[in-house]
Structure formats: structure tokens, C-alpha cells
Structure 1
Amino acid sequence: MSDINAVSRKTAWTRVLTLAVAAFIFNTTEYIPVGLLSDIGGSFGMASAQTGIMLTVYAWIVALMSLPLMLMTSNINRRTLLITVFGLFVCSHLLSFFAWSFDILLISRAGVALAHALFWSITASLAVRLAPAGKRAQALGLIASATALASVLGLPLGRMIGQGFGWRVTFLVIAAIAFLLLWLIVKVMPKLSSEDAGSVRSLNELFRRPALLGLYILAATVVTAHFTAFTYIEPFVEKVAGFSQHFATLLLLVLGAAGIVGSFIFSKFGEANLNLMLSGSIALLLTCLMLLSGAAVSELWMIALCLLWGVAFMIIGMSMQMKVLTLAPDATDVAMAMFSGIFNIGIGAGALLGNKVSTDISMASVGYVGAIPALMALVVAFLMFRKRASHTRQDQQPLVTEIK
């Protein structure tokens, strides 16, 4: 079972699909508070803007712990590590279900965040290793599509379950699904030693790569921009735009569906136009954030804006992930752990910034304020790609030729 090459294509794809379902579950639970802020706040007598701190705490734990946990577990068999991660994941969600105070809920979310930190540090490289020969890029695309599907199905379904049966039941359902997935991991995953994971010594080498460091700065900035507004999309739709709860759910579906469209666009055109697609998508994100408040006058305008917004952010995420793997093929787990941590710094910073804007200025201003780091990200992207124009051909080589 330890030889991952001597298996049928069906078995290989089953393993990749298992990782994709796991990615779906992790992304669903990470963003589920976005759709339940008002319900969670109401049960603890708190405003939705205050409960948004859940995303900040979660994201910053992931940011702080991704690299240390990856280095601490670099020699652990990946199958064993996945089983441990999902054990922690299930137990933490059970604690969320029973949480008798907001503080206990935060503690339970901290446990989920630790599992998240480990999972996303190793998932991309595992998908590439487990994929059938010649299908590595497609395997990575499947993981990305699963993350988008979490927004299409996971987040809206979680919101509907929460509204129908209470937000606690949403976390209980996630725990049950994760337990079934844990059983599947035990059944189908091979024993996988760490490979090209990197070590503490890898950090010094990675820090000498200007393109990689620039990409990390870009990631922190653009993710902050997105989550400044996205974190509070539910209360924005209901309190600023004055639309119904059902329409807020619909917009979450639209954002997620648009993410799948973005994934498809990237899989078709991304590798040949990586820098252009990344820059163009950041510009589109900036435009959407600037127009968010103005679009709140019409349901049709909000739907159109969220379509473009979802496409833009999915392409941004996939582009940055592919560039990280391309720029650090010799230390993929370390590089991805750093990327995951920095990505979550952006999530936490965006949620916190949106919280301050919502409470100190107005909920209607989250788009305008989010546009500021989006503009900064666009400038960073322009400077990065202009400076490295002579290396564009190297950066755009297909992923399957870079990862060994």
C-alpha cells in the first residue's frame, strides 16, 4: 500500500477525490460563520459585527501555526497525519455544537484552525503525488474546484441548516460528514512518507527568492481586500441593501458558482497567461469592491457584481497557488505552509478591518475600505511582473514540468 505508483487510475483518482472532498469540508467550515454571523450573535446576545471576530481568531491561528506545525510534523507519515488532523477536526466541531458561551465557541474554532493549518500545508503536494501520471495539474484543479464548491453548496447549505435548525446543528452536520471522511481516509489512503517537504534549512533558501517573497506580500494584501467586504456580506445585504435573508443566501450561491466558473477559466487559460490573469483579476476585484455600495440599490446589480467578484477571487487564489508551487518545487510543503499562513493573515486582517469599519464608520463602507488594499495589491502586481518581465517565460511553465 506504500507504493503510490503501482495502482490503477481509478484508485489514484479515488485518493485525489478524497482529498478534494476534504478540501470541500475544510473550506465550508472556515467560511461558515460568514453565513451565520447574525444567528450566532443573537444566541449570545452579541452584534453580528462583534461575532465576526471568529474569522479573525481562526485565520490568525492558522497564520501563526501553519509553518511551525508543518516543520514539527515534517517526518510523520502523511496518512497518519491526515487521520490525526481529521480526529481533531471532528472533536472540535462537536465542541462547537455544545458551546455554552462565545468563549467556548472560539476555543472550538481554535481546534479547527489547528487542523486547518496542517491540512492545507500538505494537501496541494499530496494531490500532485497521488494523481495519475500526467494528471498533476488536473488534480490540483480538482482541489481548487472543491474549494469553490464549498462556497456554492457548503456555505449556503450550512446557512440554510442554521436558519432551519439552529447554527449548532450546522457544526454537528459538519462533524458527522468529517467522521465519514475520516473512515474513508483510513480505507483508501496509502502510507506516504514526507517528500520534498523541506525543513528549517529550506526557509533560508526560500527567503532568497524575491519572486516568492513578492508573491507572499501580494497574497496578504489582496486577501485582506477581499475579506474586508466578504466577511460581512450577509449583514451588508440585509441591513444596508435591505434585501431578505433568502436573497443573502442566493448571493452566497452566486459567489460560489462564480468561483467554479473562475476555476474553469483558469484551467483553460491560466498556465499560458498566468501573470496577466492574476493582474487582471485583481483589477476586477478592485472594481467590484468600489461598486459594492452602489450596487446595493438593485438585486440584479448585486447578482451581476457577485458573479464578477467570485470569478475574480477564484482566479486570484489559483494563480497564486500555482506560482508558489512553481517557484518552490524543492520545498513545496514549507512554501505552501507559508502561503497558507500568509493567506490567513489576510483573512484575519480583512475580517478585523471590516469589523472596525462596520462598528466605527458604517457597514455600507466595507467595499470602499476594502478597495484600498486591493489598489495596493494591483500596484504590487504591476511592479512584480514588470520587474520580472524577462523571467515570464520561466514562471509560466506548466506545473507538471516543475514539480518533481
Structure 2
Amino acid sequence: MPFFVYILSFGAFVLGTSEFMVAGMMPSLMEAFSISEEMAGGLVSLYALGMVVGGPVLAGVLTREGVSGKRILLGAMGIYAVAQCVAALGDDYGVMAASRFVAGIVASACLGTSLAMSIESVGSTLSGKASAVVLTGLMLSPVLGVPLAMFIDQFFGWRASFLSVAAGALLCAVLIAFLGPRDVRGSRSVIAQDVLVLKSGLLWGCYFLGCLLIGATFAGFSFFSVILSKVSGFSGLVVPWVLGAYGVANVLGNAFFGRFSDGSRHGGLVWGIGIMAFSFLIFACFADAPVVAVVCVLLIGCTGVSMNPSVLSLIGRVVQPNALVSTLYVSVVNVGLAGGAWISGWGVDEGYGLNFPLWVGFALSLFALFFVLFLLRRIDRS
């Protein structure tokens, strides 16, 4: 695997750390800006909104103008670092909110371009492995990056956490500048082709599949901590260890599906989704059994989010991946993330019980299983 792909993975780690660390630093931010918990949580939502709405628009404009992937990454990482510095040095909630939205926009473009460039650097035969390496950085961010950011917050303040992320983004930009591929401006014919691939119905089918998978995963994951403590009966000291094991399962599953997806017709999607659906079903039925709950959490961790490399490999069978295609995928899965979590939250608020999110995860993953079988037949016929 080219060393450049690992640089892109480091960049994904930096992006993921900034995205998730706000949730861990909410008490510090609430005190600093004298805001409510809801307003502090809004900083996470604004980042996600920027990724969903702004990222594809930015990538689309830059692609149409023929800006190379390397230049997109350099510019986006630079803007990302500035946004982190503005957040760190500002004393106003509005400034912080605006910087989070801008950071979300460029983060989406960065991640999408990184995925496209990683695949381009190794060719289609190793696309799954390359995308898995990049996504490993993203998956390690909640496991390693967020605790590190919280540690910095405790000893040096929340501003130091944001400045540390800015330093990481600048370091990544320097590495890309000196160790990245030669900068080549796209020709008009290639640029037009990059945009025209969005007319593919099979591509949007792959997008919808990714949306279903992430929606199912986060429908359950958003309430794992509550379910484990209030239904499974784990103490507050044990739950973080279970969730930490879930994060490790994400990383291991991501590496496995990355290797399995290359050269495989379905990249493990069929049986992977089947295992996830079965795990959600068993979890929903026996959530009050601690051992069963832990096993199901780990199985969902090994599948769920970890199947992203297989979906990206499937996209590579349908169209030629580029920055716009990959950025749109990042945007779509974030819609699934928000949608799955919202449905579960709505059900719990309506009084359907804490097991409701698990049933939502089961329903969405079962639908995804039938849909992937349909999609694979369509792809084979094409």
C-alpha cells in the first residue's frame, strides 16, 4: 500500500477527531459560552449539516473547474485548520457555530477526495483495501482521538484541543504537498465525464444502500449506552469499556471487509448485513441478558459501519470513482446517520421503550439485505 494512502488515513483521523470531540467537551463549552446543553449539541449538528449540504456543492464546483484532487485536499485542509483556529480563539457562540459549519463543509470534501485519491493511487483491484485504510483513520478517531482531545481539555483547556486539531490538519497538508502525487489539472472531457457519472441509477442505488447501513447502525448505536445501563444492567463504569470494545470491533471489521471486498462479487455485503440484522433481532429480544447484549454489540461493530469499504468497492464496479462521487457518498451516509438516530429518538420519546432503537436497526438492516440482493442482480445484468 502506498505511503500516501496512510497520510490520507491520518487526515481522516484528524477530521473525525474534530467532528466527535465536541460531544466529549460539552461541559467545558457550556461553561465557556454560558449556553444550554441543547445549544452545545447544536455544534455537532451544524458540523454534520455542513458535511451533508456544503461538501458535495464544494466538490462539485471544484470538479467542474478542473481542480485536481491534490489541490482540493491542500486548500480544504488549510481552510479546516483556519476554522479550528477561529473556533479556538473566538469568545462568541455564533463564531464557534459558524466555524463548525465551515469545518463540516471542507471535511466532507476532504474525506470524499481522500477516498477517491486512495483508490486512484492503487487501482480498482485494491480499491477496497485502500478505502479501508483511509476509513480506519476515521474509525480510530472516536477510540483514540476523542479521549486525547478530552485529556487536553482537562489539563490545558478546550481551546488547546481545537488548536491541536488545527496543527494536525496543517501537518497533513504539508505531508500531502511534499509526498502526494504530481498535481495534474483535469481536461474538460474528463471533468464532464466526472459529473455525468451522477446520472447512473446504479450509483444512486449504492448510495441508498450505504444510507440504509449507516442508518441501521446509528439507530441502535445512538442508544447503546442507555440500553446497556438501563436494560442490560451494566454499571456506569462498565458501559464505556463495552463501547470501547465496539470501537475496536469497528476497526477490525473495517480491515476485514476492506480485504474481502476486492475481487469479490458482493464484498461480503450479503452475509455481513445478514449478521447485522440477526444481531439486532437477538439484541432486541434479549437486551436484558448482559452477555447476549455484549456479543450483539460486538457483532454489530464488526459489520455495520465496517462495511463501508465493500459499498465503496461496489461503487467502483458501477462508475469510475472521483472526488465528487466519494464526497456525495460521505454526504448520503451522514443523512442515514441523522435519520436513523432521529427515528430511534422519536420512538423513545413517544414511549415505545428503549428496545425500539434496536427494532429500528433490525428493520433497516433487513430492508438493506433485500435491497443489496436486488442491487447486485441489477449490477450483474449491466
Instruction: Please give the range of the TM-score, normalised by the shorter of the 2 chains.
Output: 0.7 to 0.9
Determine if contact 2:272/2:307 at 8 Å carries over to the other structure: yes
Take 1:270 and 1:333, find their aligned partners in 2: how far apart are those partners? 21
Deviation at 1:21, TM superposition (A): 0.8
Residues 64 and 341 in structure 1, CA contact (< 8 A), matched pair in contact too: yes
Q: Are 2:82 and 1:91 equivalent residues in the alignment?
A: yes
Contact 1:281 1:315 in 2 (8 A): no
What does residue 184 of structure 1 align with? 175
- In structure 2, the partner of 1:57 is 46
Query: What is the alpha-carbon distance in structure 2 between the residues aligned to residue 33 and residue 140 of structure 1?
Result: 26
Match of 1:334 among 321, 324, 345: 324
Which amino acid is 2:2 matched to? Answer: W
C-alpha contact 1:148 1:259 (8 A) present in aligned 2: yes
Cα distance in 1 between the residues matched to 2:153 and 2:226: 15
Give the equivalent residue in structure 2 for 1:115. Answer: 106
The whole-number CA distance in structure 2 between the counterparts of 1:116 and 1:94 is: 15
| Aligned equivalents of 1:14, 1:112: Cα separation in 2 | 26
Q: CA deviation digits over 1:88-144, x for unaligned, max 9?
A: 111222233345454433222112111112112211221133349976554333213
Question: How far 1:310 sits from its partner (Å)?
Answer: 1.4
Find the counterpart in structure 1 of residue 300 from structure 2: 309
The structural deviation recorded for 1:311 is 0.8
> Distance between the aligned counterparts of 1:136 and 1:273, measured in 2?
12
| d(CA) in 2 for partners of 1:115, 1:263 | 24
Task: Quickly say closer, same or farther: Cα 1:186–1:52, change in 2 above 3 A.
Answer: same
- 1:270 deviates by 3.0
Pair 230,130 (structure 1): closer, same or farther in 2 beyond 3 Å: same
Q: Deviations over 1:22-68 (max 9, x none)?
A: 12212222233444456645664523x66444333322321222322
| 1:328 CA displacement | 0.9
TM-score, normalised relative to structure 2: 0.81
Structure-1 separation of matches of 2:18 and 2:194? 31
Question: How far apart are residue 212 of structure 1 and its match?
Answer: 2.0
Q: Give 1:261 deviation, angstroms.
A: 1.5
CA distance in 2, matches of 1:292, 1:102: 40
Deviation, structure 1 residue 258: 0.5
Matched residue, 2:198: 206
| Structure 1 position 226, deviation (Å) | 2.3
- For 1:331-369, what per-residue CA distance to the aligned partner results, in whole angstroms no more than 9, with x for missing partners? 5333222212211222333444455556x347963x623
- Give the Cα separation in 2 of the matches to 1:242 and 1:100: 42
SS at match of 2:2: helix
- Secondary structure in 2 matching 1:193: coil
Separation of aligned partners in 2, 1:363 and 1:183: 51
Does the 8 A contact of 2:232 with 2:293 survive in 1?
A: no
Question: SS in structure 2 opposite 1:54?
Answer: helix
Gap change, CA 1:353 and 1:391, over 3 Å in 2:
closer
Question: Quick one: distance in 2 between partners of 1:170 and 1:292?
Answer: 38
Output the aligned Cα RMSD: 3.7
Residue 375 of structure 1 pairs with residue 366 of structure 2: no
Match of 1:21 in 2: 10
Question: Which of 13-22 and 374-383 deviates more?
Answer: 374-383
What is residue 261 of structure 1 aligned with on the other side?
252
Which residues in structure 2 correspond to 1:87-166 (within 5 Å)?
87-131=78-122, 137-162=128-153, 166=157
Q: Distance in 1 between matches of 2:183 and 2:97?
A: 33
1:184-239 CA-to-partner distances (Å, cap 9, x unmatched) read 223322432255996466555533x3322222222223322323343455566677
Q: Which residue of 1 aligns with 2:19?
A: 30
Is contact 1:278–1:315 with CA below 8 Å preserved after alignment?
Answer: no
The 1:128/1:251 distance shift into structure 2, 3 A limit, reads same
Q: Distance in 2 between matches of 1:100 and 1:234?
A: 33
Tell me the distance in 2 between the aligned counterparts of 1:172 and 1:81.
22
Alpha-carbon separation, structure 2, partners of 1:212 and 1:201: 14
Q: How many residue pairs get matched?
A: 377
Could you tell me which runs of 5 or more consecutive residues in structure 1 were left unpaired when the two chains were aligned.
1-11, 396-404
Distance 1:213 1:158, change over 3 A: same
- Pick closer, same or farther for the CA change 1:379–1:243 going to 2, 3 Å: closer
Unaligned runs of 5+ in 2: none
Aligned to 1:220: 211
**Separation (CA, whole Å) in 1 of partners of 2:212 and 2:124:** 36
Q: Pick closer, same or farther for the CA change 1:273–1:340 going to 2, 3 Å.
A: same
Q: Which amino acid aligns with 1:333?
A: A
TM-score normalised over the length of structure 1: 0.77
Using the aligned pairs only, state the percent identity: 19
8 Å CA contact retained: 1:236, 1:364 = no
Which one of the candidate residues 272, 282, 292 is aligned to 2:273? 282
